[in-house]
Amino acid sequence: MPLHSLWLLRHGQSAANAGAVTAEAGASPLTELGRQQASRAALEVGRPPDLVVASPFLRARETAEPILRKWPDTPVETWPIHEFTYLSAAKCAGLDVFQRRPLADAYWQRADPHYCDGDDAESFAEFAQRLRDFDARVRALSGFVVAVGHGQFFHAYRRALAHGLATTPQWMRDFRQADLARPIENGQIVRIGPASLAHG
């Protein structure tokens, strides 16, 4: 049975999304609102998935929990679909999401696919390879798959399916503009059908 439905679920609101300072990019838990968003998303999963794929980050694993409680026999795998870690955590230590904004703006204005902000960050070229790896792995699956992860990763994947994926400054600029204008919201599900995968 080929893959017939891929749902991309962005995690619920995290403490970092709400403005809290976090020491590690992957350690920010869900807020109460985030837990409510995760529960509402689980209500939309009206049939048991053939597989749940989750990011290793805490906020994604917590978002997947209501789905797995609802469908306890569902297999779950952890894949490297975590958020694009383009800023060095060491450089951002003690900063909240608003204080990090100038650093983020400077990164995207640079628009260098091979620039890496530090040993604990990744370049856009490395991020793009993770997107390609996800695409290859997901195309080998069958049935109904729910992936629980992060806004930029899923937005970039959806854009790559529609427009191709190029590790170029222009692709980075276009993606950043689109992501700021129409981000995937916390708890939002993006449904990818076989037609989109066929043209990706």
Q: Average per-residue pLDDT in the chain?
A: 92
CATH assignment of the domain containing 107: 3.40.50.1240
What is the percentage of the chain residues whose pLDDT exceeds 70?
Answer: 94
Tell me the residue range of the domain where 159 lies: 3-198
Whether the pLDDT of residue 48 is over 60: the answer is yes
Q: Are 50 and 76 in contact (CB under 8 A)?
A: no
Query: What is the domain count for the chain?
Result: 1
pLDDT reported for residue 95:
78
Q: Report d(CA 24, CA 116) in Å as an integer.
A: 18
pTM above 0.85, yes or no: yes
pLDDT tens readout for residues 71-127: 999 999 999 999 999 999 888 877 777 888 899 999 999 999 999 999 999 999 999
Q: Report d(CA 108, CA 165) in Å as an integer.
A: 17
For the residues 170-194, what does the mean pLDDT come to?
A: 95
What is the percentage of the chain residues whose pLDDT exceeds 90?
Answer: 80
Query: Helix, strand, or coil here: 91?
Result: coil
Greatest extent of the chain over all pairs of C-alpha atoms, in Å: 48
How many other CB atoms are found less than 10 A from the CB of residue 84? 23
Number of H helices, E strands in the chain: 7, 5
Residue-wise DSSP of 34-53: HHHHHHHHHHH--S--SEEE
Tell me the sheet residues that pair with 52.
76, 146
